[in-house]
Each structure stands twice: as structure tokens, then as C-alpha cells.
Structure 1
Amino acid sequence: MSGLGSGAVAAGSTPLPHRSVANIRSPHTSSNVNPSTPASSSRPLPSSSFGSPSSLRADEDILILELGTRKLQIGFAGDACPRGTVWFTPSQLRRVGDFRDWSSESKTNVDWKTKKVTGERWWSRDHELWEYDVREADLGLIGDKVERALREALTRYMLIDSRPRRMVCVLPSGLPLPMLSAVLDSLFSRLQPPTVSLLSLPVALTVGAGVRSSLIVDLGWRETVITSVCEFREVNTSRSVRGGRLLVEQTHKLLAKHLPENQKKKADNTSDNAEDYDLSFEECNDIATRMVWCKPHLSSPAAPKSGKGLPTLHEQDESDVAAAGSSTEALKTVRIPLRSCRSPTTIELPWEALAEPSENTFFDSQYTESSFDDHELPLPLLVYRSLLHLPLDVRALCMSRIIFTGGCASVLGLRGRIFGEVSKLIEERGWDGVQGKGADQMRANPKLRGKKGSRQASSGPKGVTSPSEAVENREQDGVWHDAANTTHDVCPVEEQLKRGQDTRPRVQGRMRAIESVGAWSGASLIAHLKAAPVSTIEREAWLQYGAAGASKPSEVDQKSARQSLGPGGLIRGSAASNSWTLGVWGMN
């Protein structure tokens, strides 16, 4: 009982100080004080430190867009490769409620035949973003395609919110100004980025290769463009209509010629009309991408022989070897299933026949050089003339830094064939632009060429001083001057200037091909290094003035537009000043 009584008294009385929980943190505070919120620190904390990580990333990250004729690539600045690629296909032109993907006709891929034919190039028109002929182009449709592809890329690959972000667009330098205006109107009015910077495709490819000068051979879809870049500036540009679209059409001709229903027709009755297509574009494009190859150059160097000695040769009849080789080549065939034609079938073609589309598209060796116009030159001749039109010092740099890019660059053996034929043209013709019978006769006949006599100097050679006179000249004012062993004073300014210079010898004057990581990766590197491009456009300026508000490149003071490579250099580019230009796009 006494124990229970003492416990009750202890429960009703004040707890002991060493058993109080409130005194653990503040022993000097009495237990009857009510608990309150701890006082905040007097030092203000930045509100952005506790914000959402997405808001911080939106202020720092820059979206890199590369717009081509058939695809769009997107990613963040500083990444090695794009996050995603969106191809322009007819499925993007469908509206809500279009269920053709679930119909029986779409599975057999014959619905393209029932499409209404309107104008030329209808076969591949829905697979392209734009055409360089702006006379009949629908600029509003181009803007809608860009917006839909960009929204699809942001939703599917980027996984970011709709917060406005700065953008860098990589575009071909030959893009017409109406096309550029349609793209910028779509970006500024619908996605609302604060600034859009423009980068040229050849310059981005040059940066991606790690060089300052190069010769870009862009084997694109619409055409082949050869651009000479010297010190990150475009010097010369030449074009040819030979590109990927022509390659796909030549592949269609090859496949349609071997169809059973077309083999029954006579060759004279076969029409080459652009509207007469027997296969779908998707199937011909897939075969051209995966199976078409290019024959090697005839004078290409053979494989290097082993240094240990000649290989062992077994005795056998040469006629048997030739017969065995021909039979082996004849047995090399390939079976191609075709499902887009009216009656699906499988054709069998010799392996050499698959080299005809690339031969007819890029070379046309059966025709003479005089039979081509300036806009349809074969690619080896186009590369040679592009180098021939360059100055001597620029040519020496560009010919040692040839970069092949574009969709057709992946055709097996095409780059080696072009490189070999260009080297052969240089060996045969040299760097003389005058060609013909008269020029050949002048080079071969020394009488027609004329003898260049050596002109004697008006004054005779100066006399050489004797060693005794040289020794006497060294001693001046009674002091001996040893010029051979005199050490020069070190200039600190020259030493600092030499530290930033590359003293390695430059490769120039010989044919060499190099690789590039691509235009998108080069633009990502430029934006990551905060380099200020020449063409940076603000949203308010574009919505107010449009393309008419841009100044000419010659009207902008380049000294005031120079910025450091510090943080925010991409923002404070030419947009920081009132004068802004469209770069190379504002001159065409």
C-alpha cells in the first residue's frame, strides 16, 4: 500500500528535472513554457535553391534541332547524340478518326495506288518536309508539319514540360528565305522560345570533325551539295540534282522491269511517265537503303601483299579458272519479296544488277562530259570542279579534309568510288581549268607552248667578302662582337603568343577523307561551349518585324557583336544588340 501511495503522489506532483523530456534539448528552460516554432535564421535563403529541378534545367538547357528534308533530330546541348529522330511520313498528315492502320488494305500496303495523283513527284511528296521550289509550296503546311513533329519529339523522346526553352536550329545554308520564315513563325508563335539561334549545316559538320576547314560532300535527298569551308566560313557552293530521290526512282525502275506482268510487255511500249509507279515508295526506299551498292573504282589499289614472300601458286588450267570465276559470278543472285504490287511476288535478281541504280544516279559513265548541264554533273566531276574553283591555299586545306555526309553516304562503296575517281581526275588533268584538244596539244608540243628564256639580272653578282674582311668587321670600337654565339633576348609577349598557337604541321596538299560525328553533334558542341552564333533572333523582334527586321551582314558591326565564351554567351550573342541578321540565309 505504501508503494502505491508513493507512486500516486509522484504522479500528481511535478516530475523530476532529470526525467523531463523537455529539458533534454534546453536544460535551462522551465517545463511550463509552451512549445513554439523555432525562429528562422536572419540570413535570407535563395528561393530557387528549393525550387523544382525542372525549372532550373529549363533555364540552363538548350534544345538542338536539326531540320532536314525528311527528318527532324532533337536533343539537349552538350549531348553526344540526339535523343530522338522523327521522320516525315504520310501518317503525320492523318486526322483524328483515321483508322486506315487497322484496315485490311494497309496490311497489304496497296492503298497508295488509290491515292489521287496531283502534280509531279506525288509518289514521294508526302515523305518530305519541303521543296526548294517555293513557287507552289504551301508554307502554312510546312509550319504545321514542323510543329507536329516537334511536339511529337518533345512528348516521346524528351520527356519535358511545355516551358519555353531556347533553341538552336541547324539548317542547310541553301534553304530559301520563305522556308526559313515559315519555320521560325511556327517556332515563335506556337512553341514560344525566348531566342532561336541559327547554325549552318556545313559549319556544324566541320566542327563535328574537329577541323577548321573542310570540303563537305552532302549526298542529300533532293540534291548533292558540295560546300567549301575555310576557317568556319563558307567559301564556295556547287550543286547537282543527283541525290537520294533519284536513287529511289532508279531502284523502282529496276524492280518494276523484273516484275512478271511488266516482262510480258514490250520494251517499246513501256512508258517512263513519272505517274506510272508499280511499287510503293516505302518498299523501294527500304530496298535502296539496305541492298543497293556501288561498284569500286577500276584503278583502285589492290589489297596489300604480305612481306613474307609470294603466295603459293597451284598449277591448274587457266581456262578452268576463268570458267569457274564466271560461273561463280553468275550464281550470285538475290531474292527480293515484293508486297506492295497488285499481285505480291518474289523476284530473283543477279547481284550485279543492284549496282545499276547507284551507277545511273551518281555517275552515268556511258555519257560524255559535254552532254551534262551544270546542274546535273556527275559527282566526281562536281567535286573536282569545286576544288578547281578555290584559291590555292584554300584548296590545299580542303582537299585534305573531305567529309562525306547525307543519307546516300551509307551506300556501300559509294564514297570510295567518288574518292578514287576524283584522285584520277587530278592525276590526269592537274589543276588546269582549260581542257580540250588545243590545250592538250599545247601541253605536249614545246614549240606551241613557247620557251621561257632566263632573263639576266641588270646588275652582276655582288662580290663575296673575304674571311679577313669579315673578321675585321666584327670588331667595332675595340670590342669583339661574336654574332654566331650571341644569345637573343627573350621577349615575354612573344612567348605568351606562342603558347596559344598550334605548332604541329598542317596536313594539306594531298587527297584525304575524314569522318565527322554529324551536324547535330557539332551544333551541340558549339552550344555547350557557349559560342555566340552570328544569327540569334529574339522572339519579340521576330513577332514584331519578321524577316524584314533583319539587317544585312555588312551592316552589322562585328566588333561590337563579339562576346566572350563565358556563361550566357549564347544568349548575349547578336541578340544583345539592336542589329541582328539572318546570316547566310539573309543573302539569298
Structure 2
Amino acid sequence: MAAPGGAPAIHRSVANIRSPPGPSSSSHHHHQPHHPSTPSRSVVVPSPNFGSPSSLRADEDVIVVDFGTRKLQVGFAGDAAPRGCVWFGPDQQRRVGDFRDWHPDYKYDWRQAAGMWGWGRDHELWQGGDVRGTDLGLIGDKIERALREGFTKYMLIDSRPRRMVCVFPSGLPIPMLSAALDSLFSRFQPPTISLLSSPVALSVGAGVRSALVVDLGWAETVITSVYEYREVKTTRSVRGVRYLVDQTHKLLAKHLPDGSAAKSTDGAEEEEYKLSFEECNDIATRMVWCKPSKAPAATQKAEGLETLVEQDESENSAPSAIQRPGRVEIPLRSCRPPTTLNLPWEELSEPCENAFFDSQYSRSGFDDHELPLDLLVYRSLLQLPLDVRALCMSRIIFTGGGTNVLGLRRRIFDDVSEIVRERGWEAVQGKAFDQMRANPKIKRKGARQATGGPTGVASPSAENQEADGVWHDAANTLPEVDPIEEQLKKGQDKRPRVQGQLRAIESIGAWSGASLITHLKASTVSTIDRDVWLQHGAAGASKAADVDQKSQRQSLGPGGLLRAANVGTSWTLGVWGTG
């Protein structure tokens, strides 16, 4: 029933509940507001909690932060992707009131910055696992500035304390982890911070419980074996994306004209950079590519019939002339004077070949910390137990900045497949082992032992059994059916798991995996209370074996609140505090 005067009833107008009256309202049809207005938060940050009448009782927003060597990703828990990504660079190291970047005559001097910080060091949050000479206070300041930029620029939220979930690399040293947590607790006041490791979050993002995570990171390549959401083994190599950028600089500096290359006065070879880090990094990201594997085409043949390319039969089927490799023009503006290089396309694959493989050298000439990536992946799988290896080799996840190099993931996968085809899973290698394995006498002896197995024991005949029928053969009796076991088997997934074959899978990322874990309210590796951290710091953490898991559970049942009151009394740093 309409209200008197033609105006709609207040309790029937949806616009009066969810938004201010618009032009469709008859009462404001001739009086439209002309002043600008700020849109509501639901337009900027869409959330399902703000579209229902129970929004006042909605859970508070949980912020998920993914820490990397060169960038930081922030967003809300439950979202599919982060709201923003903040890259570390020289712009974040300006003092308050330094507006030189907006001066028309100002130009960034990368040579002076390279002499002060090191070539490209001002683009990093931390330098791998080396804490010698590291300014931990500077790390905390960088984290604070990056988070404030992410909150105000991408997330559009205030400085109200919110719970945080932080994703850190599992090999991060405790001093750097402590500096990051000190900065978060003292400057953003979150009530609790939950810690997650990057490999586990990546496995959750891929939808698997076990995986082999190959992180082609900035400072190094880290391979982590995850089995049932637990990190089993970690191996690493110094071959990272930074080494790729260095090799790109060497390639470009080699082709510079003589006038722009400064020559050293003494005979010693000094590493002098002719190009800026930003320019070399951009070229390495856009133009460097990886050569395909040299494995025979028979091993890469797919199942099924071959696909024929449709073509006009009237065209000449004669083989076309061999085309010369194309050339690429690369403009360089950071050298003196600026120039343009004309390089063959094939030479742009040399930085990737030298940085990640070094195929011109023998496999036995590398140390354990500088293994090529294909050999590193093979040895990581070889050192795993048999059941863990069978699952991890079928769930290989490539992540990190090195995955953006064209053809690198395919090259690593094909080379590992070729090594497995040649060597198998034998830990011992060499000429003597090959000769022993090829010895016909040993082969005949092994075949004789395999065929001549133990003989079975004949079961007693029915004549020897007792006449009353009480006694029976216990060894051949079928077990009784347990109804509880039958119910448990019905709830299990009976689909066969893929294992025992090399296979690469995709993941939506560590941040998205952590967002999914938080949204499902699953328990994290470690949860740290703010008051306990400010009182004790990292020294107050207990070992994982000393923490009572029952006391960490919270519920609304009898005694649940009493147990929840003592949550912060005993806590652990998870994989970061195993020492």
C-alpha cells in the first residue's frame, strides 16, 4: 500500500537501507546533490560480510602479508589475489621532505648509489641468509614504509590494529625474522601474528598435500620437499635471478663501444658496472630466453597420433632456405654516451645458460652450493625416501622470479627427465658402478635369487583337524568385518593418486594459499601474541616438541575459554626455531 502523497513507504524502500536516496526517489527528484561525495567502502573493497544485515557481527578483517626479497604483497584473507604489490627500491629510502624527484633538473645518479649501497642492493629487503653487516633496523624501516604504502594506496584502510598472517621463506634467519616481527608489533599493533612458510602455502595454493617446490628466487634457488604439509628436506644453490642479471650485464658490456667502456689502469680485474641495475634487470626480464633441452625427441614424444599442419597442396613443398638468426636492437640510456646495440637473438640465451646450467663444464666439477638447476632437482628427489619421492616427483611446482624467463621451466623439466632416463634412481655413479651393473654374472645371480623365492608351508589337511570343529587354521582365516573401519573407508577418497612419474603442476601463489588457509580457519605453523612478543621477543619461543597441542585449541565448550586464556603462554617459531 503506497504512502499518502505518492511517496513510497519507508519500511518498503530498499534504497533507505543500503544507500542514500538517489535520483529515483520521488522526494529528491527535483533536488539532486551537486557536491562530490566519497563512495562507500563496499564499492572499493567488495566483501560478502557487508551485504547482509548481520554485518555488525562480522569477523574482523585479517591482513595477509607475503614477504619476498624484492617485493611485498598485501591483501585481505579470503580474497583470491592480493590487493597490491609494493616493490622495494631507492624511492623508499628518501628522507621525509626529500622532494628531489619532482625537481625538473634532478636525475638519479645510479653510479653514486652503486658505490654507496652496492649495485642493485637498494632494491632488496634483505640479502638472502647472510646477516653479517646487515642493518636490521633498516629492514624494519623498509617493512614499515612498504606496509603503510600498501595500506593507504591499495587496501584503503585505517591504522586500526588487525590480526596479521605473514608468509616468510622457510630459510629466513631468526635475526631477520625478529626484526620483521618487531617492526610489525611495535608500529602496527596487531593483537596476534600467525606465521606460514612459503613452500607450504604454495602447496595449498596448488591443491596438493605433497609437492616439490622449486623456488627460482632472487638471491638463490631453494628446493623444498613438502610431504603432508610438512617440510621434509631443503636444498639450495647460489644460482638465482641476481646472477642472471649479472650475466646480462656482462653480455651487454662486452658489446659496448670502446668509447663507453672505462678501462682499468692496473692489471687487476675489477668489477666495474657500465650500465644501471634498472636497465639490466628490465632487459633480463623482457628479452633473455632459455635454449631448449638437448634431449632426443623420442623421449618427448606424446601419446596418440601426430598432428598434421594443414597447408595448401598447390604450394611448393620444396624445403625453404635456411633463415639467418634474427637480430635485436637494444637501446641503452644509462651508459656514457647512450647507444643502441644490435645483437643476434641467439646471444640473448647465453646469460640464462651461464647462470643456471653451465653446460660447458663437467658435472663433477661443481660444489654442492653451485649445482646446476637440473642436477639440483634430481639430487633433491634422489635423497628423499621412496614413498615421499613417488609423490613429490609428480607434483613439481616452479615459483619465483626466474619462472618468467622464457623456456626455463621446460628446460629444467626436460633435463631432469633425461637424467632419470639415463641414471635411474641409483645414488652411486661412475665407471666402476656401470661395469659392475653390466656384468653378466651378477645379472644371472640376481635373476636366480629373484626366481628362487621361499617355498610356502603346506597347510594341514582337513583329516588332521579335530572332530568337534572348534579348532581352525588361524593363518588362512579371513578377518572379521569391523563396522567402524568400514565407515572410515567409505569417507576416504578411493581415487588412485598420481605418483611415480615426473609431472609439473601450477599454483596460484603463496599469498593466495595463505589467504585460503586463513579463510578456512586452519591452524598455522605458529601464532604469536603481541604482549608476549614485546615482553620476551624471540627468546621466549619454545621448541615445537615442548608445546602442548591440546592447550592451543580453542572452543566454546566447558573449559574452552579457560584454555584460550593460556594460548600465548607457550608458543613456537615453527620451522624458523627448530635449532
Identify whether the pair has TM-score above 0.5, normalized to the shorter chain. Answer: yes
Distance 2:454 2:115 in 1: 83
Q: What code does the residue aligned with 1:561 have? A: Q
Distance 2:261 2:425 in 1: 51
Q: Which residue among 387, 392, 396 is the counterpart of 1:393? A: 387
User: What is aligned with 2:519?
Assistant: 528
1:211-232 Cα shifts (integer Å, max 9, x gaps): 0000000000010000000000
1:494 equivalent to 2:485? Answer yes
1:236 equivalent to 2:233? Answer yes
Distance 1:575 1:126 in 2: 42
Q: Quick one: structure 1 residues 436 and 155, their matched pair in 2 at CA, closer, same or farther if it must change by over 3 Å?
A: same
User: What is aligned with 1:283?
Assistant: 279
Taking every aligned residue pair, what percent have the same amino acid on both sides? 64
Q: Secondary structure at the match of 2:445?
A: coil
User: What is aligned with 1:503?
Assistant: 494
Contact 2:532 2:568 in 1 (8 A): no
Distance 1:212 1:574 in 2: 32
User: What is aligned with 2:185?
Assistant: 188
1:210 equivalent to 2:207? Answer yes
* TM-score, normalised via structure 2 length: 0.80
Contact 2:237 2:370 in 1 (8 A): yes
Deviation at 1:493, TM superposition (A): 2.2
Q: What code does the residue aligned with 2:361 have? A: Y
1:360 equivalent to 2:358? Answer no
Deviation at 1:193, TM superposition (A): 0.3
1:287-309 Cα shifts (integer Å, max 9, x gaps): 11111110111225368864679
Q: Quick one: structure 1 residues 268 and 374, their matched pair in 2 at CA, closer, same or farther if it must change by over 3 Å?
A: farther
Distance 2:84 2:112 in 1: 33
Contact 1:535 1:574 in 2 (8 A): no
Contact 1:532 1:565 in 2 (8 A): no
User: What is aligned with 1:375?
Assistant: 369
Deviation at 1:495, TM superposition (A): 3.7
Distance 1:447 1:221 in 2: 51
Contact 1:400 1:508 in 2 (8 A): yes
Deviation at 1:265, TM superposition (A): 8.7
1:304-359 Cα shifts (integer Å, max 9, x gaps): 864679997988877xx5xx21xx233x1111111111211111111111111110
Q: Which residue among 95, 119, 123 is the counterpart of 2:119? A: 123
1:75-132 Cα shifts (integer Å, max 9, x gaps): 000000000000000010011333332346656x5x112346147xx01110000122
CA RMSD of aligned residues (A): 3.7
Deviation at 1:476, TM superposition (A): 8.0
Q: Secondary structure at the match of 2:569?
A: coil
1:72 equivalent to 2:69? Answer no
Which is further off, 577-586 or 62-71? 577-586
Distance 1:98 1:309 in 2: 61
1:358-377 Cα shifts (integer Å, max 9, x gaps): 10000000001122111110
User: What is aligned with 2:345?
Assistant: 351
1:133 equivalent to 2:135? Answer no
Q: Which residue among 267, 291, 298 is the counterpart of 1:295? A: 291
User: What is aligned with 1:412?
Assistant: 406
User: What is aligned with 2:547?
Assistant: 556
Contact 1:166 1:196 in 2 (8 A): yes
1:501-557 Cα shifts (integer Å, max 9, x gaps): 111100000000000000000000000000121310000000000001000112112
User: What is aligned with 2:43?
Assistant: none
Q: What code does the residue aligned with 2:123 have? A: H
Which is further off, 445-454 or 507-516? 445-454
Deviation at 1:574, TM superposition (A): 11
Contact 2:168 2:195 in 1 (8 A): yes
Distance 2:265 2:468 in 1: 99
1:562-585 Cα shifts (integer Å, max 9, x gaps): 56799xx9xx99972521000011
Q: Secondary structure at the match of 2:369?
A: coil
Distance 1:573 1:387 in 2: 41
Q: Which has the larger radius of gyration?
A: 1
- Equivalent residues, number: 512
Q: Which residue among 90, 107, 110 is the counterpart of 1:112? A: 110
Q: Quick one: structure 1 residues 148 and 314, their matched pair in 2 at CA, closer, same or farther if it must change by over 3 Å?
A: same
Gaps of at least 5 residues in structure 2 are 1-49, 470-477
Q: Quick one: structure 1 residues 540 and 329, their matched pair in 2 at CA, closer, same or farther if it must change by over 3 Å?
A: same
Which is further off, 291-300 or 519-528? 291-300
Deviation at 1:500, TM superposition (A): 2.6
Distance 2:352 2:274 in 1: 20
Q: Which residue among 132, 151, 154 is the counterpart of 2:151? A: 154
Q: Secondary structure at the match of 1:524?
A: helix
Distance 1:426 1:455 in 2: 24
* TM-score, normalised via structure 1 length: 0.79
Distance 2:484 2:394 in 1: 33
Deviation at 1:450, TM superposition (A): 7.9
Q: What code does the residue aligned with 2:567 have? A: A
Distance 2:393 2:454 in 1: 43
Distance 1:458 1:383 in 2: 37
Gaps of at least 5 residues in structure 1 are 1-48, 478-486
